[in-house]
Amino acid sequence: MPGMTLTEKLLAHAAGRDGVRPGDFVTAKLSCVLANDMTAPIAIREFRKMGAERVFDRTKIALVADHSTPNKDILSATQTKTMRDFAREQDILHYYETEAGIEHILLPDKGIVLPGDCVIGADSHTCTYGALTAFSTGVGSSDCAAAMATGECWFRVPETLRFVFNGELQPWVGGKDLILFTIGQIGVDGALYRAMEFGGSAIHALEMAGRFTMCNMAIEAGGKNGVMPFDEKTKAYVDARATREYTVFEPDADADYAHVYEWNAGAIEPQVSAPFLPSNARGVSELKDVAIDQAVVGACTNGRIEDLRVAAGILKGRKVAKGVRCIIIPGTHDIHLRATREGLVETFLEAGAMVSTPTCGPCLGGHMGVLAAGERAVATTNRNFVGRMGHPESEVYLASPAVAAASAVCGRICSPEEL
């Protein structure tokens, strides 16, 4: 049998098999099952309809209120109450509502997901955890319900695409730029039901925040999952948080990839994805005359402390342009506290920005920055579909925290180098 890719090794491990090949069907034991305040109530309803009485393991379920938090209306309050009541009934260990934050930042930071794990979540951006060299993917709420009852999920083993970034990154270029560039090259269906395995010297140079960002947006290329190599940076991040043993896997030297893409990272400038697809990516230099009404730094894609530091570094001593709303959303309560202690929040407020409590907020057109007809935003979020952040006649441009913060100052999309 040929060697295995990272994803194949992770699924073989979860399925208790010596090896798997693309196209194989496997039943995997799950390390964690995740749902949020929008998807959990549906999963809970299906859980009860199937006659289940108890979750398979109260320590391996994570329920996080983040999409409409703090509750913005009666419906969202009812949704959260449904999840909260279920968590109390089932004595769920990992239930987060207050002093919490965005699920895909919260779970890794709390050491709930570790290398070698197999994780599903009723949210498409569950693929984020591949940055920890884990297998993680999004599922529907009915699959989530079955998994909460059984602790298992079936998968068809995907083919793997390998993306190699060599060379040194240009100033202001990070994980967000690399993934936008990738999606721009292969399209929103370029990795459809395939694993996206990243590697190369530029990937190893990225801090964990940038790796989470890249895996987070694997779904925007149609990917089943994204996965990063385990190295000293992964180990340092994980060892500071882990409370249980974990298993490290590496791809075999003779692993069989459906396709290998290789790019010179040094040739990639900061990227911006224009409406209405993440694949409409181009260099920021091509979009300098696009005026904006709003700039958002946050979301499960770019709400980490590293992202806030980048934004604060650009906004320090400057002012948000007149007529522009600049919204900063820390990814978790702990990040918000850390940003406050580091003086970042003060920097944001002095620049004229607004700082929100941790929430998904405007990313899905929820609250804390919904757009009106004709308005245009540059955001560190992950999707720019029609109506994604509000009115169907509004527009969202996807970018890094550096570009979003610089654009808030300029009043138009611009590179930090212009400042």
Residues 373-396 as b or e (16 or more Cβ within 10 Å = b): eebbbbbbbbbbeeebbbeeebbb
Residue 201 has what DSSP assignment? H
How high is the pLDDT of residue 2? 81
C-alpha span between 123 and 364 (Å, rounded): 12
Q: Evaluate whether residue 268 is within a structural domain.
A: no
> Would you say residue 329 lies in a domain?
yes
* Domain edge (last residue) among 241, 262, 283: 262
Q: Which two tokens stand for residue 29?
A: 């034991």
Verify that 183 and 301 share a domain, yes or no: no
Flag whether 380 is in a domain. yes
* Residue 98 confidence (pLDDT): 83
The answer to whether residues 409 and 311 belong to one domain is: yes
Residues 252 and 318 in one domain: no
Same structural domain, 281 and 223:
no
pLDDT at position 99 is: 81
Domain boundary among 238, 262, 286: 262
Specify the DSSP element, H or E, that contains 315.
helix 305-315
Instruction: Please give the helix or strand (H or E) that residue 185 lies within, else none.
Output: helix 175-186
Domain stops at, among 232, 262, 292: 262
Domain count, the chain: 2
**C-beta of residue 64 within 8 angstroms of C-beta of residue 32:** no
- What's the pLDDT at 108? 97
Q: Please give the pLDDT value at position 107.
A: 97
Extract the tokens encoding 10: 């992770």
My answer on whether 124 and 21 are in the same domain is yes
- Report the alpha-carbon distance of residue 312 to residue 4 in Å, rounded: 42
CA dist list (Å): 217 to 52, 193, 224, 291: 33, 14, 11, 26
Residue 287 domain-assigned (yes or no): yes
Identify whether residues 56 and 166 lie together within a single domain: yes
Q: Cα separation of 328 and 331, whole Å?
A: 10
Which residues span the domain enclosing 152? Answer: 6-262
* pLDDT score recorded for residue 419: 87
Determine, yes or no, domain membership for 419: no
Please tell me whether residues 33 and 174 are part of one structural domain.
Answer: yes
Q: Which residues contact 77 (CB under 8 A, 6 or more apart)?
A: 71
Q: Using CA atoms, how far apart are residues 122 and 126, in angstroms rounded to an integer? A: 8
Q: Say if residue 385 is in the same domain as residue 250.
A: no
> Given strand 354-355, what is the order of strands in its sheet?
281-283, 271-273, 395-398, 376-379, 294-297, 325-328, 354-355
Residue 129 DSSP one-character state:
G
The answer to whether the beta carbons of residues 104 and 138 sit under 8 Å apart is no
Claim to verify: residue 224 and residue 332 sit in the same structural domain? no
**Residue 267 belongs to a domain:** no
**Is residue 311 situated within a structural domain?**
yes
This prediction's pTM: 0.96
> Three-state SS for 124?
helix
How many residues in total does the chain contain?
419
In a shared domain, residues 124 and 257: yes
CATH of residue 152: 3.30.499.10
Same domain, 213 and 247: yes
Where would I find the beta strands (DSSP E) of 314-391? 325-328, 354-355, 376-379
Is the sign of the CA dihedral 209, 213, 214, 216 positive or negative?
positive
Residue at 190 is within a domain: yes
Residues of the chain with pLDDT under 50: none
Q: Residue 289: what pLDDT?
A: 84
- Residues 345 and 232 grouped into a single domain: no
